Structure 1
Amino acid sequence: MRKALIILLLIPVVALTQTKEELDFVAPMSEGVAAIKKGNAWGFIDAEGNIFVDFREDLVLTKTDFGHYPIFRNNRCLISVKKEGVLFFGYIDKTGKTVIEPEFLNAQNFNSKQALVLKLMKEELGRNEILGKNIIYHRYFEVIIDENGNVKTYLNPKGVNVVLDKKSIKKPPKITSKEISKKLYAVLNKNKKWTIIKIEN
């Protein structure tokens, strides 16, 4: 009788306990979620310990006081994908769905429902009849996007010329502008001096 009573008392405890084993890293909770690592892949658990973004290898790590791991900000998490050897950045939401396609040469986490990214633009200047190829010109711009990926403001309207191949872009170009507040940004010009730009939301 005593054994049966002990077993009956243990069943609810065992039934309610869920464990995630063999994890290589567990991040602190942020926005109600925590990043977890297994091998080279990362996923996310909620406050109940349920995995809601399964393990994947395209999540971008952010440097924090507690280490390097992916994070959600404004329901957006950075992802990266290589296309022909060049890294492009986009965002997923908390369902794991890609909500902003990987099309930026670099990108930062969202803050106040907007993010700084390097938007790539392609322009065809004409055609080289001898080579039988179109002459394509690439340039990237530091821009502020909203949560849907729409450009709100160009911070460097002239842009920066870039050769779009893996030999020329071995690592993502740096984002030099800085957010000061939701409406103020500091933009570094060609003379290495700062300009303060006020944007309207």
Structure 2
Amino acid sequence: MKSIRILLICLIVFPFIGVSQILKNIDEVTPFHEELAAVRKGDKWAFINTKGDIVIDYREDLVKSKTKNKTTSYPYFSDGRCLITQKINGIVYYGYMDITGEIVIKPEYLNATNFDNGHAIVLKVSKEELGRNDLLDKKVVSYSYDEIVIDHLGAQKTFLIGPVHLVYKKDRLRKPPMIQSYFLSPNLVASKSKDSGWQLYTLNSSN
């Protein structure tokens, strides 16, 4: 009888030892990438570690990216970088944050891929002043973009395609321009242009 009382006391004092609810009311939970997994509440995403602790709080600037199996899309880390966006004057720009949530490559690209073996492919905008319209008293400006490879700090490594003429208005950039290149291997990129078809580039080469 005494042993039964001790057992009941233990059950009251230590209920369900080893089982606890960490997060609740989550709309979506994704697989782990580099020991971090994205979780969603409404339109905001956060990242948790393998213990279930939120290490990057909920935010709206994370980019849903296709995974390698191309069947699902959600924010994830690759090479310690995760895609983010920022809208400036109605136009969306892409950049990257690190595993602490700090922006390490500022959003300045019209489109960008996830990092793969230390490199990513981005579309970088260029602006050229052609002259001045005296009648309207304003500068005549032309915009274009180049498709380039950058390293994990944002430094340009290889030029791929460009310049591609750009109508630099928010109503014409509701969707980002398509990236025409992809990594064949850690040091080899395939690019397709309208004029010259497919080209192969090795990283760090002169093009």
Q: TM-score, normalised to structure 1's length?
A: 0.91
**2:32 matched to which residue of 1?**
29
Instruction: Please report how far the alpha carbon of residue 195 of structure 1 lies from its aligned counterpart in structure 2 after TM superposition.
Output: 1.2
AA matched with 1:109: N
Instruction: Please report how far the alpha carbon of residue 18 of structure 1 lies from its aligned counterpart in structure 2 after TM superposition.
Output: 4.3
Q: Assess if the C-alpha contact under 8 Å between 2:39 and 2:47 holds in 1.
A: yes
AA matched with 1:53: I
1:195 aligned onto 2:204: no
**1:73 matched to which residue of 2?**
78
Q: Residue 155 of structure 1: SS of its match in structure 2?
A: strand
Flag the structure with larger Rg: 2
Query: Residues of 2 paired with 1:40 and 1:33: CA distance?
Result: 19
**2:185 matched to which residue of 1?**
181
Alignment of 1:96-135 (within 5 A): 96-135=101-140
Deviates more, 1:190-199 or 1:107-116: 190-199
Instruction: Please report how far the alpha carbon of residue 129 of structure 1 lies from its aligned counterpart in structure 2 after TM superposition.
Output: 2.1
**2:88 matched to which residue of 1?**
83
Q: Residue 52 of structure 2: SS of its match in structure 1?
A: coil
Q: 1:193 to 1:171 in 2, by over 3 A?
A: same
**1:160 matched to which residue of 2?**
164
Instruction: Please report how far the alpha carbon of residue 11 of structure 1 lies from its aligned counterpart in structure 2 after TM superposition.
Output: 7.9
Provide the identity percentage: 41
Number of equivalences: 198
| Unmatched runs of 5 consecutive residues or more in structure 1 | none
Instruction: Please report how far the alpha carbon of residue 13 of structure 1 lies from its aligned counterpart in structure 2 after TM superposition.
Output: 3.9
1:63 aligned onto 2:71: no
Q: Residue 87 of structure 1: SS of its match in structure 2?
A: strand
Cα deviations by residue, 1:91-111 (Å, 9 ceiling, x for unpaired): 111111111111000000000
Q: Residue 173 of structure 1: SS of its match in structure 2?
A: coil
Query: Residues of 2 paired with 1:200 and 1:72: CA distance?
Result: 24
Instruction: Please report how far the alpha carbon of residue 190 of structure 1 lies from its aligned counterpart in structure 2 after TM superposition.
Output: 2.0
Q: Residue 172 of structure 2: SS of its match in structure 1?
A: coil
1:95 aligned onto 2:100: yes
Query: Residues of 1 paired with 2:179 and 2:13: CA distance?
Result: 60
**1:172 matched to which residue of 2?**
176
Q: Superposition RMSD on alpha carbons, in Å? A: 1.8
Alignment of 1:130-149 (within 5 A): 130-149=135-154
Instruction: Please report how far the alpha carbon of residue 128 of structure 1 lies from its aligned counterpart in structure 2 after TM superposition.
Output: 1.7
| Unmatched runs of 5 consecutive residues or more in structure 2 | none
Q: Assess if the C-alpha contact under 8 Å between 1:84 and 1:165 holds in 2.
A: no
Deviates more, 1:110-119 or 1:179-188: 179-188
Q: Assess if the C-alpha contact under 8 Å between 1:127 and 1:133 holds in 2.
A: yes
Cα deviations by residue, 1:37-85 (Å, 9 ceiling, x for unpaired): 1011111100010101111111000123462210100110001122122
Query: Residues of 2 paired with 1:195 and 1:24: CA distance?
Result: 43
**1:52 matched to which residue of 2?**
55
Instruction: Please report how far the alpha carbon of residue 120 of structure 1 lies from its aligned counterpart in structure 2 after TM superposition.
Output: 0.6
Instruction: Please report how far the alpha carbon of residue 119 of structure 1 lies from its aligned counterpart in structure 2 after TM superposition.
Output: 0.6
AA matched with 1:10: P
Instruction: Please report how far the alpha carbon of residue 166 of structure 1 lies from its aligned counterpart in structure 2 after TM superposition.
Output: 1.2
